[in-house]
Amino acid sequence: MRAVKTLGLLGTGVIGGGWAARALHFGIDVLAADLNPGMQAWIRGAVDNAEGALSRLTFAPLPPKGTLRFTTDLAAMARQVDFIQENIPEQLELKQRVLAEVSRCAPPDVLIASSTSGLLPSDLQRDMQAPERFLVGHPFNPVYLLPLVEVVGGSRTSGAALDAAGEFYRYIGMHALRVRREVPGHLTDRLQEALWREILHMINDGVATTGELDDSIVYGPGLRWAAMGTNLIYHLAGGESGMRHMLKQFGPCLKWPWTRLEAPELSKQLIDRMVEGTQAQANGRSIRELERLRDDYLVAIQQVLRQFNIGAGATLRALEERLYQDSGSAARAATAQPDAIEAGKPLRLIETCVRPEWVDYNGHMTDSRYLQVFGDATDALFRAVGVDDVYRRSGRALYTVETHVTHSGEARALEPLYVTTQILGLDDKRVHLLHSLFRRRDERLLATGEQLYLHVDSAAARAAPMDSAVHARLEQIRAAHASIDGPAMPARHLRLSRS
């Protein structure tokens, strides 16, 4: 299977738009195809809408954003892309026909995945050419923020295709949950449907309103579910003997059962109750407003869960780890070049651009982002000399002690930038750096960031000498930089001169 540089989208509605936003954000180009030419404007709007929340998900160094193109020619899309994600309406015959057509245009090493909510992959791949590269990759709305994607193979899907799809989904920050056996509704939608069916029954019977039923989840189980599913939670609920006791105590009610298996008839009265109930819950807020609220708390929850390295937070951590590693590998490769560590020449470790969300109300890159870019440059340098995750796991790290930033120019949205890094001083516990941020278009110096780092033994909570190999690599660079001029304004206290 090939490396994915361009993602092809087949159908660009709610789900296609979500895939586009996620892939573009993590540096993948997208060629979106939809029979309806009006979807071009729609998908661009959807990507812009997603950007606000997505941009706050992580501060790890991201690759340049991918580019978005649109076509109504499905065959042309299939010929040009490395991976196709199908998101057309949930109708078996339609999907079968379109997937078969597209499979005749896409080279056989191009994976084709369907976002289907519940259809079986074996049915969908029936008429396809090279069906072994087909699978279900079922995401959740909003695709750009929820990491879950269910990966399901059909009877003719190859294991290699499932592995490669999982790898791609993880690359764009998702949790690829491999479903062992295809079943209608996969895993999640079966569970969601069971809950929804009970909701419909209770509304139909006048037991509760839609708002009360939502409260019954939001104030209780919903909070638990963000990090522990029903099974682990019930294991905890069973006391010392866990799940065994839980099944003994509540097993009999499962047989009554409390719940019903068949959905109620969708009568006019039931539909009206559902619609009126949810309108009352929306309380005058538009769908867009509610989406923004949902997106904001989804970002915040994932960031909290990251601290516990659990659930979606663990996925976010793994993604950030990979982004920092990629940035460190690029820096390592740059410093390994024969002419990289050259007397009188600073290192050039970070190439980036002003992401639109970095811009303030004046239209310029905002202050905090300078610090972020300089932080990325420091991280890249330290990784390049061996202060990587393995090193940090040994309980040692370099802590920032002091930073001094100067500004001498401005950068607008999407301006390409680069950072050069110079080692000004070094001893066995301290590193003194000078980063310089340049605008690529005219090589203008925009800012400098002078920083002092202290090597710390975290367990002992005190400064300690760094590893000798790390020190030797830093010393090699410092010696090469010894002849470069230092900062024009070496770290000084801010003071207004008196006139």
Ligand X SMILES: NC(=O)c1ccc[n+]([C@@H]2O[C@H](COP(=O)([O-])OP(=O)(O)OC[C@H]3O[C@@H](n4cnc5c(N)ncnc54)[C@H](O)[C@@H]3O)[C@@H](O)[C@H]2O)c1
Residue 323: name the closest of 174, 177, 172 by CA. Answer: 172
- DSSP letter string over 310-358? -HHHHHHHHHHHHHHHHHHHHHHHHHHSTTTS-TT--EEEEEEE--GGG
Nearer to ligand X, 87 or 436 (CB): 87
Nearer to ligand X, 88 or 165 (CB): 88
What's the min distance (Å) between Cβ of 142 and ligand X?
Answer: 9
User: Interface with ligand X includes 192 (CB under 6 A)?
Assistant: no
**Residue range at the interface with ligand X (CB under 6 A); choices 13-21, 23-31, 149-157, 286-294:** 13-21
Nearer to ligand X, 94 or 459 (CB): 94
**Residue range at the interface with ligand X (CB under 6 A); choices 11-19, 237-245, 270-278, 431-439:** 11-19
φ/ψ of 258, rounded to 5, equals -65, -35
**What CA–CA distances, in Å, run from 407 to 411, 414, 439, 448, 487?**
11, 19, 12, 7, 13
User: Interface with ligand X includes 398 (CB under 6 A)?
Assistant: no
For ligand X, what does the binding mask look like between residues 123 and 162, x meaning CB under 6 A? Answer: ---------------xxxx---------------------
Helix H or strand E encompassing 127: none
Among 2, 5, 35, 293, binds ligand X (CB under 6 A): 35
What's the min distance (Å) between Cβ of 383 and ligand X?
Answer: 37
Residue 184: name the closest of 240, 228, 127, 123 by CA. Answer: 123
Among 2, 3, 5, 36, binds ligand X (CB under 6 A): 36
Residue 273: name the closest of 216, 202, 214 by CA. Answer: 202
User: Interface with ligand X includes 117 (CB under 6 A)?
Assistant: yes
Alpha-carbon dihedral of residues 485, 491, 493, 495, nearest 10 degrees?
A: 40
What's the min distance (Å) between Cβ of 347 and ligand X?
Answer: 45
Residue 206: name the closest of 254, 131, 115, 267 by CA. Answer: 267
For ligand X, what does the binding mask look like between residues 44 and 83, x meaning CB under 6 A? Answer: ------------------------------x---------
What's the min distance (Å) between Cβ of 178 and ligand X?
Answer: 17
Nearer to ligand X, 142 or 386 (CB): 142
d(CA 375, CA 499): 36
What's the min distance (Å) between Cβ of 10 and ligand X?
Answer: 6
d(CA 179, CA 165): 13
CB closest to ligand X, residue no: 13
Residue 143: name the closest of 40, 59, 47 by CA. Answer: 47
Query: Which residues in the 76-95 window bind ligand X by CB under 6 A?
Result: 87-90
**What CA–CA distances, in Å, run from 20 to 23, 33, 386?**
5, 11, 36
What's the min distance (Å) between Cβ of 9 and ligand X?
Answer: 9
Query: Is the separation of the CB atoms in 444 and 438 below 8 Å?
Result: yes
Residue type, 398: L
What's the min distance (Å) between Cβ of 34 and ligand X?
Answer: 4
What's the min distance (Å) between Cβ of 281 and ligand X?
Answer: 18
Q: Is cis: bond before 107, omega within 30 of 0?
A: no
SS3 444: strand
What's the min distance (Å) between Cβ of 87 and ligand X?
Answer: 4
**Residue range at the interface with ligand X (CB under 6 A); choices 10-18, 296-304, 420-428, 457-465:** 10-18
Residues that bind ligand X (CB under 6 A): 10-16, 34-36, 39, 74, 87-90, 98, 115-117, 138-141
